[in-house]
Every structure is written in structure tokens, then in C-alpha cells.
Amino acid sequence: MKNIIQINIFILLLFFIWGCSTTTEQTAKENTPEIMEAKEVRDQHTYAKPQEAVVKHLNWEARVDFERQQIEAVARLDIEVADKAEELYLDTKGLIIDKVTLGEEEVMAVYEMGDYNAVTGTPLIIKITPKTRRVNVYYTTAKDAEALQWLNPEQTAGKNEPFLFTQSQAILARSWIPVQDSPGIRFTYSATVQVPSRLMALMSAENPMKKHESGIYKFEMKQPIPAYLMALAVGNLVFEPLGTRTGVYAEPAQIEKAAYEFAELDEMLEAAEKLYGPYRWERYDLIVLPPSFPFGGMENPRLTFATPTILAGDRSLTSLVAHELAHSWSGNLVTNATWDDFWLNEGFTVYFERRIMEAMYGRPYAEMLAELGYQDLKQTVEELMGEGKEEDTRLKLDLTGRNPDEGVTDVAYEKGYFFLRHLEGLVGREKFDEFLKEYFEKNAFQVMTTERFIKYLEENLLKPNNIEIAGTTYSDWIYGEGLPENMPEVDAELFNAVDRQLQAWKEGTPAASLQTDEWSSHEWLHFIRNLPDDLSADRLRELDQAFGFTQSGNSEVLAAWFMHAIAREYEPAYPALREFLNSVGRRKFLMPLYKKLTETEAGGILARDIYKTARPNYHFVSVNSLDALLKYREETKK
């Protein structure tokens, strides 16, 4: 009898091992929501053990030292501790820990640094007791702290004062604050920050509107936020109110342009609230950063960080602001539990962004944005498939052992968007809007996993409306690769006129005679993107002379145009290209341009030549991606 049981266990074990070793393709098919939910939700990218001890509030006291390019700080962490807990695990990367104390009386603590990992950094493990309520960490940031970018005066608009900004998403907060750096762990914070008296400091918190002569600034963030939303900017900044709840910070040289560009911000905020419920963060301000900011925008609560490349002069790139504003609901209120669920942040936000744009500028306008997004998605999916990265075309990612940055592709944004648009189509807009509004309200200040969302969707939208969705819906959209067959159709009617003009030009109408009046930059973008691949440099010159693309003040137009200029070696655009690559640090533009350059030998040489001078102007996240692309090695850095 005993033997039989043993044999049975053995057979079961064999089945188990066999089950675990199926290929990834099989795994994709078997990843039903039920199976995925049964797996423990665990954030692979943190050392934190929140079940033992979890941070609830951070009190940050810091001095920003521009000479040494470091921040000297104390992080006072209020924690909640489980019975029998003996350790608090914090994330750090490159931090130099001076000392750690416990409680208000600051008794010396015993701590150790764990093993370093290139992606996740080093755990700081502090001995505590179940009675410990506060831990104080005294530390200094490393010279090359990954979240921080220290700029010389020449790298700013005003050229007189230095500048510092942070970029914490996805897992870089740990390089400037010892925290539990997981999107699933929220805390409130207060801060006292000392900066040179000529500069102003701002955070993702309640902010000053004027410079303080003392150079000391106090901040308060009363709503709990995850660490990736911690942010700081220090520079020669001024504030300009835009509406009752909105305003913009920029360097004096850019404030006027910025105030013009974002004049409709209050209206945008109202449009957003009308769609999906009250704005929960009181004020909504923007800060225009120097051009090396590696992203278009970053949704730091109460204060969106934005690239100056959206100051086009004609308000044509404000969908980016709508995007960051929308994150005040999707992402900042309802937050992806792990970076594998990143599409919950970005896909929802793109959907929300386009609904704001539609409310403000009408459906034809928003459909142009959707079509451009669809083109991006198609191309990204093709590229990922071609590079053997099929798995990254799934909405639910598996970033085990990888940098979450690798999950930042158009898939999360655009496939996520189209999935929500597909759901909207199933129930109709009215019901879908009601559902989303309630979703944000019910899950506010909480985390969401993909599987919990599916369950929520079933219970709150599909079942009540008697909608049976195809059994393959989730495997196609969420756990499957490539693009599903039931992609919603986009109707970008405004692009029809563009297609007609493009056709006419191809058939011999001179560029100067094309009818392009009233085209927005989106129409221009569509025109440029759809130019044939095999144009001669002469044909490019003709377009350039008629439309002045090389001199465009619109960064999207410029970047799209440079792609053709590089492909056809159209040299008149090269000085402008060099200038663009030297000043702009936005990764979304840099990656395709450098990649295109490396496709030819001469281009590759040019790319490396430009990169040598431009590299010091880029933030770590851009450098990290570009070093890999250009195979830039440590030895060459010196």
C-alpha cells in the first residue's frame, strides 16, 4: 500500500515537472486568468517584504549639493510591523549609507547591505523589533545616481544656472531615496529640501509658487503614492498660473511660450473630470524641463514633468499633457501592481487621453491620433516579432530577471488602448464610461493586477450586460502574441485628404502646388511617414523647399522627417539632425534615429561621432538604451 502511494506521488511529480517545463508558447495558451491569479502576486523588482514591515510615511530631509552633484539626506520612515518581524527590507541602488537609527530617540541600528544586482540594486536590511515605529537612514547619493540628472548651466534654456531633475519610474527611486520601491507599496511623504538660494525646488507634492530666499522648501504629499512617483526638480524656475487649479513652471526664458502652449489646461482638467470623476489631487501643474529630459512626459502627482519639445508654438502636441493628466486616474489612483501589469497604467491612460482629446477637439481629431497610434503599434509588433521578442507583444508581460524598462513599448500603450476600445464596442460608450468611472472610484489608491481587472470586468461590465465574450478574448488580447483579429477599426477621415495629396505628388504634381492649407501637425506627420521609402535626395529637397521640414519647430515632424533624410542620405538636413541629437534627450526620438543611422556604414560612423558629444547631455535611461544599441563600451567612455 505504502509503495503504491509512493509510486502515485512519483507519477504526480513527473506530471508536475512536465507541466513546468512546457514551452513558452504553450504557457501562453494555458495562461488563463484563473491560473494566473492563483500564482502569487509578487513584484520581482523589489527587495521589500511588506508582509513583515511596510513603509507608511516618509519624512525626507535633504540638501542638494550642485558642486559635488550629490544629495545628502535623511529618510525618516514610519513603518507598520507584523508580529515577530525582525527586519525591514529597503531598496537602494548606489546609495552611500552613513548610518541608520531607530525611533525618535535615534538609537543606533544594526543593518547590512545585501548582494548587488545590476537591475534591482542592493537591499538594505535593517534589524527591527515588532515595536519599531520609525527608522532613520542617513545617506548620500552616488555621483552617477541613475534617477538624477545634473545639468550644467549650458544645458538649460537660460544658460546661467544649473538644474537637477529626477526620473524615478520604473525602479530608479531607489537610487536617490532608500524606500520600498514597488508600485504596490504606497506611502505619504513630507520633505524639507535645501537648495542654492537662487534656485527653486519642486516635488510631486504641494509646491511653492515663488522662490524662497532661504533656499529651504517644505513639501507635503497627503495622498499615499508609490515610490516611482517620487520626484524633485531644482532650477531657476518661475510660475505662471493658467487657471484656478492649474499652472506652469518653467525657466524664465520659456515661461511665456509655455503659458501660451498650455492655456487650455483648466479646460482639459474639466473635460477629464466630466468623463471619469473628480480629480483627487487638488492642483494640477506642469513643469517644462530642459531638453535632456528622457521622456515626453512623466505623471508625477500634482506636477507633471514635461519635455520642452512639446512647445510647438501652436498647441499641436498637447495630447501629451492629456496623457499625463489622465494618469492622475489610471496609474496614480489605480496603480499597476507589478511592472508586468504596466499596460493597466499606460493602455488605460492612452484610452483616457484620446477621450479627453475627443471631448475638446472632436472625434475626427482624436481619430487621427488613434490612427497614428495604430501605425506605431503595427510597426512595433513587426519589429518585436522579427527580433525574436514575440513574448513582449503580450499585454501581460513577464519581466522576470529583466529591467522593467524593456517592457516600455507601444504594446502596453496601443494594444492596451485598442483592447479598451474593443470593450467599449461590446457594450456601447455610455455603459463603458459608467464602468470606467466606477472602476477608478472603487479602486482609488489601490493596486490592480491584470487578473483582478479581468475579474472586475466580468463582474461589473460583462455579466450585468449579459455579454458573453468569445473564449479566446483574453488569450488573444492579454496573454497572446501579435495583434488579434478583432482589432477595432479606426476612421481617420482627415487623413484621406492627406493620402490624396500624397498620391498627386507621387504622380507628378509639384510639391509647391499641393493643397495643404489647414493641415495640423498630425496631418503632416501622416504625410511624412507615408512617403515612399525609395525617394531620391532630389525629391526630398523638393519637399523640403516647399514645406521647410528641416526647419520645422515641431519635434514630431522633425523626427519623422529625419528618418527619411537619414535613409536617403539627404545631407542638407544633417546639421539640423546633429543639433537635434545633441540637445534633445527624449528616448522616443533618439532610439529610432540612431537605429536608422546605424543601418548604413557611413551613418554608423556619423551616429558614433554625434553620440560622443551628445552622450553627456542624455539622462541615464536614454544612455542605457543607446549604449546597448551603439555597442558603446566602457573603455570608450573614458
DSSP string, 277-317: ---SSS-EEEEEPPTT-SSSEE--TTEEEE-GGG--SSSTT
C-alpha cell at 452: 483582478
Look up 439 and say whether it is catalytic. no
Q: Are 334 and 448 in contact (CB under 8 A)?
A: yes
308 binds, among Zn ion, ligand BES, none (CB under 5 to 8 A by kind): none
Closest Cα partner for 351 from 400, 395, 398, 290? 395
* Catalytic, out of 299, 324, 371, 414: 324
Closest Cα partner for 591 from 393, 399, 380? 380
416 binds, among ligand BES, Zn ion, none (CB under 5 to 8 A by kind): none
Q: Which of residues 401-460 bind ligand BES (CB under 6 A)?
A: 408, 413
Which is closer to ligand BES, CB of 138 or CB of 295? 295
Closest Cα partner for 271 from 322, 319, 311? 322
The span from the CA of 121 to the CA of 143, in Å, is 15
Q: Does 611 bind ligand BES (CB under 6 A)?
A: no
Strand stretches in 273-360, DSSP E: 284-288, 297-298, 303-306, 334-336
Count Cα atoms within 13 angstroms, Cβ side, for 209. Answer: 10
Look up 594 and say whether it is catalytic. no
Among positions 102, 145, 170, 483, the unique one binding ligand BES when judged by CB under 6 A: 170
How far from each other are the two terminal CA atoms of the chain, in whole angstroms?
Answer: 71
Interaction mask 353-392, ligand BES, x per CB under 6 A: ----------------------------------------
- Among 132-140, 320-328, 479-487, 601-609, which window interacts with ligand BES (CB under 6 A)? 320-328
Q: Does 320 bind ligand BES (CB under 6 A)?
A: yes
- State the nearest-atom distance from the C-beta of 231 to Zn ion, in Å: 14
- State the nearest-atom distance from the C-beta of 588 to ligand BES, in Å: 5
- Residues across the chain: 638
341 binds, among Zn ion, ligand BES, none (CB under 5 to 8 A by kind): none
Interaction mask 328-347, ligand BES, x per CB under 6 A: ------------------x-
Which is closer to ligand BES, CB of 62 or CB of 306? 306
Q: Residue 236 gets which letter from DSSP?
A: S
Question: Considering CB under 6 A, how many residues would be counted as binding ligand BES?
Answer: 15
- State the nearest-atom distance from the C-beta of 416 to ligand BES, in Å: 11
Helix axes 587-597, 601-614, angle to 10 degrees: 140
Among positions 226, 297, 301, 480, the unique one binding ligand BES when judged by CB under 6 A: 297
Count of Cβ atoms closer than 10 Å to residue 66 Cβ: 17
The span from the CA of 255 to the CA of 308, in Å, is 11
Which is closer to ligand BES, CB of 54 or CB of 320? 320
C-alpha cell at 50: 511588506
Closest Cα partner for 164 from 215, 234, 217? 234
Interaction mask 221-240, ligand BES, x per CB under 6 A: --------------------
Residue 485: C-alpha distances to residues 280, 425, 480 (Å): 38, 15, 12
- State the nearest-atom distance from the C-beta of 330 to Zn ion, in Å: 9
The span from the CA of 447 to the CA of 451, in Å, is 12
- State the nearest-atom distance from the C-beta of 298 to Zn ion, in Å: 8
Q: Which of residues 339-358 bind Zn ion (CB under 5 A)?
A: 346, 349
Which is closer to ligand BES, CB of 162 or CB of 347? 347
One-letter-per-residue 3-state SS of 579-609: HHHHHCCCHHHHHHHHHHHCCCHHHHHHHHH
- Among 194-202, 214-222, 297-305, 623-631, which window interacts with ligand BES (CB under 6 A)? 297-305
Q: Are 594 and 566 in contact (CB under 8 A)?
A: no
- Among 103-111, 273-281, 318-326, 450-458, which window interacts with ligand BES (CB under 6 A)? 318-326
121 binds, among ligand BES, Zn ion, none (CB under 5 to 8 A by kind): none
The span from the CA of 361 to the CA of 374, in Å, is 20
- State the nearest-atom distance from the C-beta of 81 to ligand BES, in Å: 31
- State the nearest-atom distance from the C-beta of 335 to ligand BES, in Å: 11
Q: Are 235 and 251 in contact (CB under 8 A)?
A: yes
Q: Are 152 and 118 in contact (CB under 8 A)?
A: no
Residue 397: C-alpha distances to residues 119, 307, 410, 482 (Å): 17, 28, 13, 13
- State the nearest-atom distance from the C-beta of 279 to Zn ion, in Å: 17
320 binds, among Zn ion, ligand BES, none (CB under 5 to 8 A by kind): ligand BES
Residues that bind Zn ion (CB under 5 A): 346, 349
Residues that bind ligand BES (CB under 6 A): 169-170, 295-299, 320, 323-324, 327, 346, 408, 413, 588
Residues with a known catalytic role: 324, 413
